[in-house]
Each structure stands twice: as C-alpha cells, then as structure tokens.
A and B are shown apart, each in its own frame.
Chain A
C-alpha cells in the first residue's frame, strides 16, 4: 500500500516498531544459540516477530524486507512444525543475524530518506538453501515432501506461503451435519462467482461462501472441489468459482444471499427446471481435470500462541521531540521562577507572605522538573543487550572464548545519553575483547581460566551514573604505552613525572595504538579518541583503572541529568560564567607562592602535591578582569577525565540550578564553552566545558 509511504507518521511508526522487533529478534536468537537449540517459546516468538514485520513492510510496499521476513517465517514454520528436525543452530543464527543487519540497514536508510531498497535475494537464497538442508536432513520427511521442497526451490516462489493448510475434512465435517434440511422439490441452482481482483485467498473466500450456503442449501457441489491448495486459488482467479446446490430459497432470496458477500465482483446465477439438466451440467465439470483440483495436502496442526508479553495498556509511546519540548518549557519555567523570586524590585522589602508562597512555588517547580526528568530516563537494558551480539561476533573472529556478564542493566539514564552511548560502549567492549583479553593458550599459560570474562555494568553513585567495562585480561602495560607515546611524539612531559592516570590516558590520544597487529576491529588507532570525544560531548568523562596481568576497567561517568545542572556561578570582570558543580574539586584562595612556572613558562598551581595548569578566563576570552594577581582572586580547582586545572576567577557568585541551553547557531563552537544559561536577573552566563578548557 504505497499510499502509506508518503505518509510520514506511518513511516515513523513503521521504522520505530520494526527496529524494536528486530532488537527483540536479535536477543531471542542469541539466547537460543547459547543452548544450541531454540526452545518452543523462542521459535514462536521469532515466528511472530517475522510475521509482524512481513505484514507491516508489505503494507509499506517494502518488498525486500517483506519477502526476506517471509523466508525466515517459512524456515521457522518448518522448525516449529517439525520439532524433531535436526538443524545447525549456529548456521540458522548466523543467517538470522545477517537478516537482522540487512533490515537494520534498510531502516537506517529510511531514516535518512533513502527508499531505494537493497537487494535481498542473496540472503533469501541462503535462507531457502538452509530450509532445504534442514528438510533434507530429515530423512523421514524427505520422501513425503518432495513436492514442497520443489516448491521452495522455485526461484520465482510466489509471495504466498504453502504454510499451514488445515484439514479440510475436519473443518468441513461438523458443518456438513448442520446442512440445511431441504425439501425434495427444492430449487436447483448453478452459480459462478468472480471475486474482486487483488482480494487474495479466493479459495478461502469460496470456502466462506460454501460454509454459509450450507445453512440454506443441500447437495452442494463446487468446482474446484478442493479449496485448500494454491492451485485452487489460481483456478478461481482465472475461471471463477462454480457451485451447484438445492435450496428452498427463491431466486430472489439466493441473489440476496450472494449480494452480502463482500469481495464479490460479479456472479451469474442459473436456475434449472429439470433435474436431468442440473446433473448433466455438474457432470461436465467432473470431466474437466483442472476444476477437480488436487487433493488436500496432509493436515498440519493449527497454530498456537503461547508467547507471553505484556499488554502494554498502561504504557504509551511519546515522540521524543515532545519530551524535549516539555523539558525546554520546564527550563523556561525554572528561569522565570528564578527571575520572579530574585527580582531586583524586591530587594530590601519585607515580604514574609511572598516568601512563603515563593517557597511553595519552588517546591512545585522542582518536583515538576524531577518528574519531567524521570520521564526521559530509559533503562540501559537494550543498549547492554546489544553487546551480546558484539561479543558473539568478536569472540568468533578472534577465536577467544568470552563470557559477557551484565549487571545494573536496570539503571536509567537520560534518553539523550542512551542515543549516543551505544557506539562508544561498543568500542570499549570490542577493545576489551581484542586488546584486553589474551588468547586461550596465553591464558592457560598464566593459569587463568581459558574463557575470558567481560563485565559490563552500570550503577548510580554519588549523583552520577557510572557505566563500566571490565575485562580480566592482561591489563595495560605502562612501559609499552610510554614507549609508543614517545615514538609518536605524544609525551608532553618527562616519563618519570607522568602519573599512572596520565599514562593510561595516553590511549585516548588521536593516532595512538599499542596493538602490534591490526585487526578488523581495532588496532588502527582510531577509536579511543573518538570514544572520549563522544562521551565528553555528552557531558561525561572516562576513567581508566588497570592492573597488569589482572585486567582493565574503563568507567564512563555521566551526571544524572544533562538538561538542568547544578552550577557554580563565577564572575570575571563583568562577565558571569557557570561551572558544573560535579567537576569542582575545591575552591582555593591561593597565596602568590603556590603558583610556579614550568620550563615553558606556563603558570602552574600546586594542589595536593600535584602541579595543575592555571586557566585564566580573562586571557582566553579577552575580558577585562578586576584583578590579574593570583592572590587577589580565587582559583576553582576542576577535574576532567584525566587532568586537573585551576580556573582563575574574580569571585564566586553562588550556586544554583541552571538550565543548559545550546549556543545560538550564529556563534561557532568555542572551545571551553559547553552552552549558556539565563540567570535569575535575566543576564546570560556561559557554561564552561572544563575538558575543553584544560586541553
């Protein structure tokens, strides 16, 4: 139904729902592979998913997806109906995963407005071949199903399944008993029916008519006789459906009966006066071999649906754009509230009742804010589940046996984070397998279990969300890291002065790779820098812990929310800047001697025995500051993923909640500025991006 294609909401819905189904399919298939046999529930689930995708994609006229899902449906139909069948689970899994990738690719294209369907015939051929193999291995079945196999072989196989035809006799049996009592002197009729083109399943429509006719008529004979096969359907399409019957109904009543049928294009009704003519006419059909049709295929048990799923009644899907808008509005509300409560007109007034009401207002806005925030929170479950596939593919290609353990998948993070965390996480998991874990021989030599473990987890801790990837592999080799960094000229200070943290963070440098061999997945030195950039782009940071011989852990830290943050407002001259509270370690009022200069002449401040660079905002942004003397201002110590810095400011204004707004488009990206916010008095404050400042 291509009229849907031009229909944006339909397309959105299709893409969204199909993507969800595909994800579920991937999960189910990977679960099944673990036990090297699909359970009945899993087969039913896969079958149902493919059936849904087939239907929806056919409605959207996406023939590739539709016929591909049809092939999978066929395969799983066979497996379901023949539980004893011997099939290679991993071969089937590979095929389904390939199909999942194909469909995902198509969906991705659609999202980008590309509707040229890719060619799926190669995949369909593979699926047909697998179905043949599966059937072939079933020696007992083979003999009886030659015909069906031949049909599957048919390259131009029609879009319809030769699936589950029920037992005609069994179904028709009970209604035969109910056949109407018709007097001997009944009226004799012949009717020829033609159905509306494209209404499909003409044979079943004919069955429907015969079924209903039995309530009024007797001695019904129809051609084709067998209404179960695709041949009968094609016959009816070409020649129409002919029935002979005796009834007490008058011609008018019979016409009334047929006019009720929905998809009838036309029909011709003939009434016979003489029994002999009636018989003769029927006999002429008997002689026509085509019309008699083939015998019904063997009966197949009817489908049963046992898959459990929630009814979804209490859950609705909401477009993310609406949530974004809601969040924006609440942000505006928070700003407006702050503008009212801190209005300069109120200064110095005795306003007890006002403050009481203001307090109540504040309570409601912050509750509203929490609520809106919680709506945006999505569990990490799906993102984590996707990693099973990565681990499976990687462990095969690298020939390493790996157990992926997942904890804390129920941890919720902002939808925005979910959308962007997948790629960096995937990279970390791949790295853990490729670089972190040793080969099996190596592990055995070291007395480790041959199977490696990768732990993927998430937790809420100290107002932030931590997502970690830990492996029990060889750990980072500091000497090797330093050597490689030196070769690439990445060292900014003498080796012996580098802290452990700084050494580990070398791997985030662009163009850094310690892997001696380049694999398909990693070792090309692109990646970790992108990982870091992506995560910092989301307002997060990465930390690395490692112990040689024991393993490595990468932890991604995110603030709980990204839209509204707790900020510390600071002043430099007449400009206000905001620093996220989460990055502030301490504020100090330094004395002149705390500040030293390194050999390059850069200002450094000693903080807990560590030398940190001093960032002078007035120099970077060309602002006239009240003072340029360190001892007269304040230094705010901030920490990013790998380093600390002291931000020199005139004074601290205070802490409050700020709504993060993107910089307007006409201002290009400025390093060190993450966005801006509107303060209570209506003035604008720039939110500092500490990672950018310290870089």
Chain B
C-alpha cells in the first residue's frame, strides 16, 4: 500500500481526501494543517506521495514543497489547487511538484493521479 501524507488547512478537505484514498487502497500515514507541520510529518512518516494544498496560513504549500524537496530531492508532491491559482501552480511545478489537481476534483481523478505518481 502506498503511503500518503495529506496537507491542507481545512479539516474538511483532509477528511474528504482521506476517505477517498482509504477507499482506494492508499495508506494515509499523516495529516498536517499547515506547511510547517507538513515538513515535520514528512520527515517522520516518509510518505510515498504528499498531497499539498496551496493556500494555507503561516507557510504556503509552495514554501512547504520547496522545504520538503530540500529535505528529500526525490519527494513526490502533488498540489491541490483551485481555479484562479494558475500562477501558483506554475511556481509549484517549477519548484518540483509532480502534478496537480483542481478543486472540486473527481474521486477517480485524484486516485488516478496518486497511483501514477506513487508508482
């Protein structure tokens, strides 16, 4: 089972993603409500893939992505974005995000993405 770390400041989104993933044979090894915690959790759990929200208080998803990639250059991070965040998604891609999904997303889209990225 592939291990996933979910990073999102909205508990609702974390729960939504968790339920979808658990239904589809992923193991959710951790959740983080902001960028700072996500870095600690990444080091702790070493997930196969991270789903990263972009808009978060304190440390944005992009900052966290950069820090995680510093920690582990092979880290696989996918961004969870929303319409209107095009430029930020671009920045994330340049910073090493593997792919991205746009809220509201379909269940099979996120599953398909994570399966492919996690390998």
- Residues of chain B within 8 A (CB-CB) of A166 are 86-88, 90-91
Q: Which among A200-208, A242-250, A457-465, A502-510 touches the partner chain?
A: A200-208
In the complex, the chain B residue whose C-beta lies closest to that of A53 is B10
B110 to chain A, nearest CB (A): 10
* Interface pair A160/B84, CB less than 8 Å apart: yes
Residues 60-96 of B contacting A (Cβ, < 8 Å): 60, 81-91, 93-94
Establish whether residues B99 and A200, one from each chain, have CB atoms under 8 Å apart when the complex forms.
no
- Chain A, 1-50, CB within 8 A of any chain B CB: 1, 3-4, 7, 9-10, 13-14, 17-18, 48
Chain A residue with the shortest CB-CB distance to B109 = A199
Cross-chain contact of B88 among A61, A303, A311 (Cβ < 8 A): A303
* Residues of chain B with a CB closer than 8 A to A162's CB: 84
Find out whether the CB atom of B109 lies under 8 angstroms from the CB atom of A263: yes
Given contacts A10-B15, A48-B57, A201-B100, contact A1 B84 (CB under 8 A): no
**Which chain B residue lies CB-closest to A207?**
B90
- Expressed in whole angstroms, the Cα–Cα distance for A312 and B56 within the complex equals 13
B112 on interface, CB distance cutoff 8 Å: yes
Pair count A-B, CB < 8 A: 150
B33 touches A55 (CB 8 A): no
Q: Is the CB of B94 within 8 A of A165?
A: no
- Residues of B near any A CB (own CB < 8 A): 9-13, 15-16, 19, 33-34, 36-37, 55-60, 81-91, 93-94, 99-107, 109, 112-113, 116-117
Question: From residue A623, how far is it (CB to closest CB) to chain B in Å?
Answer: 53
Is A204 touching B15 in the complex (CB atoms < 8 A)?
Answer: no
Task: Assess whether A13 is in contact with B104, with CB atoms less than 8 Å apart.
Answer: no
Residue of A nearest to B10 (CB): A52
CA distance A214 to B86 in the complex (A): 20
- Highest count of chain A CB atoms <10 Å: which of B16, B34, B99: B16
A211 in the interface (beta carbon within 8 A): yes
Closest 10 CB pairs of A and B: A161-B84, A166-B87, A200-B102, A58-B104, A163-B84, A160-B83, A309-B57, A55-B103, A307-B57, A59-B104
Given contacts A73-B84, A159-B83, contact A51 B55 (CB under 8 A): yes
Contacts of B86 in A (CB 8 A): 163-166, 201, 203-204, 228
Tell me the A255-305 residues at the B interface (CB within 8 Å): 260, 262-263, 300, 302-305
A185-220 CB mask vs B (1 if < 8 Å, else 0) is 000000000001011110110011001000000000
Given A309-B57, A313-B33; A262-B112 close (CB under 8 Å): yes
A582 within 8 A of B: no
Q: Contacts A201-B86, A207-B90 given: A308-B57 contact, CB under 8 Å? A: yes
10 contacts between A and B (CB under 8 A): A1-B16, A10-B16, A10-B19, A48-B57, A166-B91, A203-B86, A260-B116, A263-B109, A311-B34, A313-B33
Q: A398 near B: Cβ within 8 Å?
A: no
B67 to chain A, nearest CB (A): 14
Further 8 A-B residue pairs, CB within 8 A, beyond A55-B13, A204-B89: A56-B12, A59-B104, A164-B85, A198-B106, A208-B100, A300-B87, A305-B55, A308-B58
Min C-beta distance of B88 to chain A, whole Å? 6
Asked if B10 and A201 sit within 8 Å, CB to CB, the answer is no
Interface residues of A in 575-598 (CB under 8 A from B): none
User: Across the interface, do B88 and A302 meet the contact criterion of CB distance under 8 Å?
Assistant: yes
In the complex, A296→B16 CA distance in Å?
Answer: 35
Contact A1 B104 (CB under 8 A): yes
B100 and A48: CB pair below 8 A? no
| B109 near A13: Cβ-Cβ < 8 Å | no
**Assembly CA distance A19 to B83 (angstroms):** 23
B64 to chain A, nearest CB (A): 11
Any B CB within 8 A of the CB of A171: yes
Q: For residue B107, give the distance in angstroms from its CB to the closest CB of chain A.
A: 6
A54 within 8 A of B: yes
Contact A312 B109, beta carbon cutoff 8 Å: no
Bound CA–CA A684/B24 (angstroms): 53
> What residues of chain B lie closer than 8 Å to A77, measured between beta carbons?
84
Alpha-carbon separation in the docked complex, A660 to B36 (Å)? 45
The CA-CA distance from A1 to B106 in the complex, in Å, is: 6
Cβ B99 vs Cβ A208 within 8 A = yes
Q: How far is the CA of A452 from the CA of B107 in the complex (A)?
A: 56
- Least CB distance from A171 to B in Å reads 5
Q: Are A13 and B11 in contact (CB under 8 A)?
A: yes
Pairwise interchain contact A305-B83, C-beta atoms closer than 8 A: no
Q: Is A319 an interface residue (CB 8 A)?
A: no
**Distance in angstroms between the alpha carbons of A647 and B15 in the assembled complex:** 55
A353: chain B residues at CB < 8 Å are none
Q: Which of A59, A159, A303 contacts B16 (CB 8 A)?
A: A59
Task: Give the CA-CA distance A59 to B15 in the complex, in Å.
Answer: 12
Tell me if A492 counts as interface (CB < 8 A to partner B).
no
